[in-house]
Structure 1
Amino acid sequence: MNDLYNSKRFLWSLGALFALLWLYVLDLRSLVPPDEGRYAEMAREMWLSGDWITTRLNGIKYFEKPPLQTWMNALSFGAFGLGEWQARLWTGLCGLGGVLFSGYAAHRVFGTRAGFYAALVLGSSLFWVAAGQVNSLDMGLAGMMTMALGALLIAQRDAATATERRNWMLLCWAGMALAVLAKGLIGVVLPGAVLVLYSLLARDVGIWQRLHLGKGLLLFCAIAAPWFVLVALKNPEQPYFFFIHEHWERFLLKTHRREGGWYYFLVLLAPGALPWLGVLPQALWHGARRAPGMFQPRLLLLVWVVFITFFFSASSSKLPGYIVPVFPALAILIAVHLEHASRMQRMLAAGVLILVGVAGIAALPHMIETAVAHPAERALLEAFQPWVLTAAIVAAAGGALAILHARYRRRDLSVLSLAVAGFLAVQIILAGFEPYGDMRSGKTVVQKILPHLQPDTRIYSVFMYEQSMTYYLNREVTLVEYWDEFTFGLRQEPEKSLPFQGFVEQWAYLTAQRTKAVAIVGDQTYEVLKARGLSVHVLSQDPRRIVITNL
């Protein structure tokens, strides 16, 4: 059982089972706001309008990010209809493809067992698995950057032929172009900076002659440039907002209120790498060791992890998903270390996972103490506790099984046990979160009010915008006294929102005309409307919002 990586039947069976599970769970949960609802709604509107150039949210110009994910989601809706798994299909495929391609790249560069381990490590790492099940831009970017990284490793290995080097480098350039279309200039800035640092640290100046810069730049521009040209021609205001505000100002200024300490992402690497935390430091340390040959793939992987982590640490805008692109490189480094790790080192990794599971069990009674005060939300989080308990038990059991296999020198089974435990624990946590996620999305509320709506019923969203509810309503809403992420778009099209007083007047007028209208409001707004003597009747409500009608 120490050569599972050599059994094609086992590898194909494991890969097929993993792919089926990975794709199956895409449909188990509601679309949780803000990201999942936002990018699903943008794609729904794109498919209905047929406008593949100007991206819109709630009918309003929305240029914060490029369109690759919106394109892919819109195509998914066109092919398979609206739904949760359709909205997550692109990110699910990016996550799955990243696992397979990381394994393949490690196989070509470091050997068959390293490739097997790399796929196991990435396919069970907490951040990668979670991001692959969520409709957000982080996994789309990470998937394209994984393509660029893996192709670069294969192209630059010392054994590559001239033809291989050219073809794989062209794939690398294509990956960077798609990464730009996924989330912006970081798709090329980050790999470019990594190459500069690597060439200096490895004293490998010759790598710049092996990049096929001429052909690569032509391919890069052919893929990435057309949309930027077309959108600027149709919307002259877009370039300044996208390139200056969304890149330069977002990185340097604290306007998005997402700042954190310089150590923010360093702290997140630890839980993100579970269940491999016990071998993370050793893998990074070994990555700095020089290997025989001209090209130093482990050093390149290490620079990729360290630079991207510190790059986002320097940013004034921080969200956990920003560092998802580092995990394929981290997985390959861990895989290379695991291949040569001693039995004691593998037992240590398993022991750390046991401690994490035990700590999770011990911390469970305190999980609700930091929760919100609303009784209904607390009840949902309390119902989530058994799922967290189960995940902690699975993690601890997986660690114990890995120690048992390591004790009897079953290297591959030991690594496989950790991977299976990590993957299952994440899936259990995600599945158990659904009742709380459903409440946050407003899906149940929408299902209750849909029978009361006609195609021409006006729906107002007052002092708020419910990202997922708009998607589930399958129609746009009228914003009332709400700007936030719509600020840029509403400056171009101010007629697409109402001041509060204007809403009050319209509500009263529609009531007098006996024309039904619906509004999504908060508790305080509901009390204000009642105090003003307006006709308000509750259709449905939950801890986060109240849906009212005038008739």
Structure 2
Amino acid sequence: MTEQALLQRAERNDLAPAVLRRPFALLLLASLWLVVFFASLFAPSILDDADGTHANAARHMALSGDLVTLKVDGIRYLEKAPLPYWLDALSFRIFGFNTFAAHLPEAIAVLLLALLGYLWADRAFRARTALYTGLAVLTCAGVFLFTRIYIPEVLLSLFLCTALYCLLTVLNKSLTVVSTEYGSFASATRRPSRRKAWYAYGMWVSLALAVLTKGLVALVFFFGAATVYVILTGTYRRVALLKPVTGLLLFLLIAAPWHILAGLRNTGGMNGHGFFWFYFVNEHFLRFLGKRYPMDYNKLPGYLFWSLHLVWLFPWSLFFPIAFIKGFKVFTQRRSASHYALNKLQSLDHHDEIDRGIFRYVRYSVDTFATRTTLLLTIYATLVLLFFSISTNQEYYTFPAYLPLLMLIAAALSRAEIAYDSTPSFRRWLTIAHAILTVVGVSAAGALAYGLWSSRNLPFVPDIGDLLAHRGVGDYTLSMSHFFDLTGPSFAALRLPASLAALAFAIGPAVAWILRVRRRHLASTIVVALTSAVFLIAAHIAFVRFAPMLSSQDLAEKIQELEDDHLISRDNRVLMYGDQSYGSSIPFYLGEDVDLVNGRSSSMIFGSTFPDAPPIFLNSNDLLRIWGTGERKILFVPLEKRDEVDHLLGNNRILLEETSGKALFTDRPLDHP
């Protein structure tokens, strides 16, 4: 039986490939989410840099009730859209100021993204692809890695993909089939239902929420993909079903008020600029051109930008060649069908009954919800990837393309499993994918086993930061610059996660390959997902072990401990040396703003130019002038600034605490309890 016949029988359910029933599939997805994402909400603590900065902005919002102007350390923080901080502030009000509350909205967004992928794929490609899409979202490396800190990309992906799904639902025609002596062709549609109006308004609401999550880039991605899709499919005649007038009013009603209020409340900054210039011009257009002020962002080299997506989508990226093969086959088949239909339509007597638009505006026929889904997802993912290949970028910026790419890979994998015995190219590339996964797994397991063996006699050290080959990570601005050079002794602190990961890599890929050879395709793919899940759990455990280096919670707790023991007065003055991002978790856990020494930089520059900005910025001379006078001073010094502070203060300092190279100094001896 040919591949096409197999696929047609599968569509009619004549051929019943093994699938999990919906309740069991959803239970599996929910269980994975609970183990991989929900369980990781409690540790590690809030991290320094972006995680702490965003948590501080949400903390200020929760305490002040000001839902318009974000502030960090009392300074206006105008470069971000507000919705992620609204959600975090609400979470703080419900659950308190802690790690769980800070990261809960993001974890919920991951679950909703997986469910959206499941429901969309179930409608477009049936149950097996739906399960694979959900599994891929919950177990791919990039989704896990880029939700360890609170950044808005997963929310943006959720809202944009929801808007695209609503768009597709509204524009999709309920096609019937007209059989003729020349074949079967798509005919006129049924009258659109009232339900589509709800989808239309859902599209505008989702788009407004996307704008409130990330800004104008959401409009670029959505309308760019929608425009190309409408042109290619010839569905521009149905645009009226999207409720462009009332929908646009609804969009403005949701998205416009915050922008207007933020502009009115934040005027008179640097060079007379206010929110409108900084947010729209500086943070959107100048950032895209690489001319943003301050210039604190880098751009990944092209070869890294593209190749790293094999890592971010791992292990599912191994099946990408199958998606490419499937896409090429579908393209050629439907293009041929389209040309055939165009020629035959000319000779039909009842041509008025035929929907010519399907064939007139598309080079290849897109006459099903599945093919239209494939087309829209391809356009959208391509646009996102190309946009950030031109713009300044960080590794996680292309996160909104992950769900479309994973759904396309899942659909291709399902198709390859159905046609495994009849299509040599699918069978060959599945074999190659499993071979690569097995080689990677064995290599990783071997490397981890060697590290464990070499550190077998070394003692466990809680602060792994002291065992790392430290680099000047502060000199880098790309998010993944915090990959550290592990030393042999550091494996002693990573025995549990290293053992868990080694076990998963040594067994999982081989079992998945064996199951594939035995034609137990569903079990094979689930084993791939479970192997990745175990590795992600191990990665999280390792991540927790790095907490003393990535977070300064221990130092904040040391200050609170000394205050509770009456060794220092509560009327002290906490200062941070350098940019606030070096120790942004300290003010979060202290619950108070701190002063910055030589820290008027990065995201603090523009907000500091407003006339009502608090006087929190000091220079080296100011520090020397106040050091040892007045109330007690406590100075946080990051590893990157230790030499500078040692030279500045000399012996005129007392060490209170040190962890992973970060230090707390005070200007006088401790009090007597």
After TM superposition, the score normalised by the length of structure 2 is 0.75
Equivalent in 577, 580, 584 of residue 467 of structure 1: 584
Selected match of 2:558 from 422, 425, 448: 448
Aligned twin of 1:530: 649
Identify which of 632, 639, 642 aligns with 1:516.
632
Residue in 2 that maps onto 1:331: 406
Structure-2 separation of matches of 1:302 and 1:173 = 22
Cα distance in 2 for residues equivalent to 1:545 and 1:218:
52
Q: Does 1:305 align with 2:381?
A: yes
How many Å separate the matches in 2 of 1:348 and 1:467?
46
Give 1 or 2 for the bigger CA radius of gyration.
2
Name which of 19, 31, 38 aligns with 2:33.
Answer: 19
Name the aligned partner's letter for residue 603 of structure 2.
E
Q: Within 1, Cα distance between the matches of 2:415 and 2:32?
A: 25
Shift of 1:78: 0.3
Alignment partner of 1:268 out of 308, 311, 314: 308
Partner of 2:317: 277
CA 1:448–1:494 in 2, change beyond 3 Å: closer, same or farther? closer
Percent identity at matched positions? 27
Size of the aligned set, in residue pairs, is 543
| Aligned partner of residue 66 in structure 2, secondary structure | coil
Could you tell which deviates more after superposition, 447-456 or 399-408? 447-456
Hey, what's the Cα distance between the residues in 1 that align with 2:485 and 2:440? 29
Name the residue aligned to 1:293: 367
* 1:168 counterpart (196, 199, 220): 199
| Matched residue type, 1:197 | V
Q: 1:498: Cα distance to partner?
A: 1.7
Aligned twin of 1:139: 154
Q: 1:520: Cα distance to partner? A: 0.9
The secondary structure found in structure 1 opposite 2:629 is helix
1:141-161 CA-to-partner distances (Å, cap 9, x unmatched) read: 222223223333333333394
Q: CA deviation at 1:385?
A: 7.2
Q: State the alpha-carbon separation in 1 of the partners of residues 643 and 513 from structure 2.
A: 56
Secondary structure of the residue that 2:139 maps to in structure 1?
Answer: coil
Alignment of 1:338-353 (within 5 A): 338-342=413-417, 343=420, 344=427, 345-353=429-437
1:265 alignment partner AA: F
| Aligned-pair CA distance for 1:213 | 1.8
How many Å apart are 1:361 and its aligned residue?
A: 3.7
Give the Cα separation in 2 of the matches to 1:313 and 1:29.
Answer: 32
Q: Which runs of 5+ in 2 are unaligned?
A: 1-15, 176-191, 268-273, 332-363, 421-426, 453-464, 473-483, 564-568, 669-673
1:151-190 equivalences in 2 (<5 Å): 151-159=166-174, 161-190=192-221
How far apart are the structure 2 equivalents of 1:401 and 1:207? 49
The 2-side partners of 1:126 and 1:163 are apart by 40
Q: List per-residue Cα deviations over 1:479-528 (Å, max 9, x = no partner).
A: 11112210001111262312221222122322xxxx32211123224323
**Kindly tell me: are residues 417 and 490 of structure 1, through their superposed partners in 2, closer, same or farther at Cα, counting changes over 3 Å?**
same
TM-superposed CA distance for 1:311, in Å, is 0.5
Corresponding letter in the other structure for 1:293: D
- Partners of 2:169 and 2:235 lie apart in 1 by 16
* Structure 1: stretches of 5+ with no match in the other structure: none
Contact 2:91–2:101 (Cα < 8 Å) also in 1:
yes
CA distance 1:168–1:31, shift in 2 (3 Å): same
SS state at 2:194 partner: helix
**1:53-68 mapped onto 2 (5 Å cutoff):** 53-68=68-83
Question: Mean Cα displacement is larger for which, 320-329 or 381-390?
Answer: 381-390
Query: Which secondary structure state, in structure 2, belongs to the residue aligned with residue 134 of structure 1?
Result: coil
For 2:570 and 2:68, how far apart are their aligned partners in 1? Answer: 27
State yes or no: 1:505 paired with 2:616.
no
Q: Do the aligned partners of 1:276 and 1:349 also contact (CA within 8 Å) in 2?
A: no
> Residue 307 and residue 417 in structure 1: after superposition, are their counterparts in 2 closer, same or farther (change >3 A)?
same
CA distance in 1, matches of 2:645, 2:624: 12
Change (3 A) 1:395 1:149: farther
Counterpart amino acid of residue 157 in structure 1: N
User: Are 1:360 and 2:444 counterparts?
Assistant: yes
Q: What letter corresponds to residue 382 of structure 2 in structure 1?
A: V
Matched-pair contact (CA < 8 Å) for 2:40–2:540 = no
C-alpha displacement of 1:386 = 6.2
Rounded Cα–Cα distance in structure 1 between residues aligned with 2:255 and 2:80? 13
Supply the distance in 2 between the matched residues of 1:362 and 1:39 (Cα, whole angstroms). 39
Note the alpha carbon deviations across 1:410-464, whole angstroms, 9 max, x for none. 2221221111112221221122122223322112222222222454321011223
Aligned mates of 2:29, 2:516 — CA distance in 1: 23
1:38–1:373 Cα change, 3 Å: closer
Residue identity matched to 1:49? S
Aligned residues of 1:446 and 1:472 also touching (Cα < 8 A): yes
How far is the alpha carbon of 1:391 from its aligned partner?
2.4
Shift, 1:71, TM fit: 0.8
More helix by share: 1
Q: Deviation string for 1:26-82 (max 9, x for gaps)?
A: 113222221211111111111111111110011110011111111111100100111
Residues 42 and 56 of structure 1 are in contact (CA less than 8 Å); yes or no, is this contact kept in structure 2? yes
Label 1:377 to 1:362 Cα distance change in 2 as closer, same or farther (>3 A). Answer: closer
Give every structure 1 segment of 4 or more consecutive aligned residues whose post-TM-superposition deviation is greater than 6 Å.
365-370, 374-377
Question: What's the TM-score once normalised by structure 1's chain length?
Answer: 0.91
8 Å CA contact 2:140–2:312 kept in 1: the answer is yes
Distance 1:103 1:9 in 2: 12
Amino acid at match of 2:574: I
Mapped to 2, the partners of 1:3 and 1:438 lie a distance apart of 49
Q: Which residue pairs with 1:245 in the alignment?
A: 282
* One-letter amino acid matched to 1:234: R
Q: Does 1:191 align with 2:222?
A: yes
1:195, 1:219 → 2: CA distance? 19
Judged with a 3 Å threshold, the aligned counterparts in structure 2 of structure 1 residues 434 and 6 are, in CA distance, closer, same or farther, namely closer
For 1:377 and 1:393, the matched residues in 2 are separated by: 20
1:193 deviation in Å?
Answer: 0.9
Match of 2:530 in 1: 420
What residue identity is the alignment partner of 1:418? Answer: V
Q: Does 1:543 align with 2:660?
A: yes
Q: Does 1:258 align with 2:298?
A: yes
Q: 1:170 to 1:352 in 2, by over 3 A?
A: farther
Q: 1:192-235 CA distances to partner (integer Å, 9 max, x unpaired)?
A: 11122233444544454443322321221111111101111111
Distance 2:237 2:196 in 1: 14
Contact 2:445 2:506 in 1 (8 A): no
2: CA distance, partners of 1:416 / 1:313: 33
Which letter maps to 1:243?
Answer: F
Per the TM alignment, residue 119 of structure 1 is displaced from its structure 2 partner at its CA by: 1.0
> CA distance change for structure 1 residues 258 and 205 in 2, over 3 Å: closer, same or farther?
same
SS at match of 2:643: helix
- How far is 1:319 from its partner? 0.9
- The equivalences for 1:121-140 within 5 A come to 121-140=136-155
Query: Against the structure 1 CA distance between its residues 486 and 180, is the aligned structure 2 distance closer, same or farther, given a 3 Å change threshold?
Result: same
- Partner of 2:636: helix, strand, or coil? strand
Give, in whole Å, the separation in 2 of the partners of 1:398 and 1:201.
43
Deviation at 1:362, TM superposition (A): 5.2
Name the structure 2 match of 1:403. Answer: 513
- Say what the alpha-carbon RMSD is for the aligned residues: 2.8
Partner of 2:396: 321
Give deviations 1:323-380, integer Å, cap 9, x for gaps: 1111110121112112210442444433332222234345557999995369998454
Give the distance between the partners of 2:307 and 2:555, measured in 1 at CA: 37
Tell me if structure 2 keeps the 8 A contact 1:377–1:436: no
Q: Which residue of 2 aligns with 1:33?
A: 48
1:165-189 superposed Cα distances (whole Å, 9 cap, x missing partner) = 3222322222221111111111111
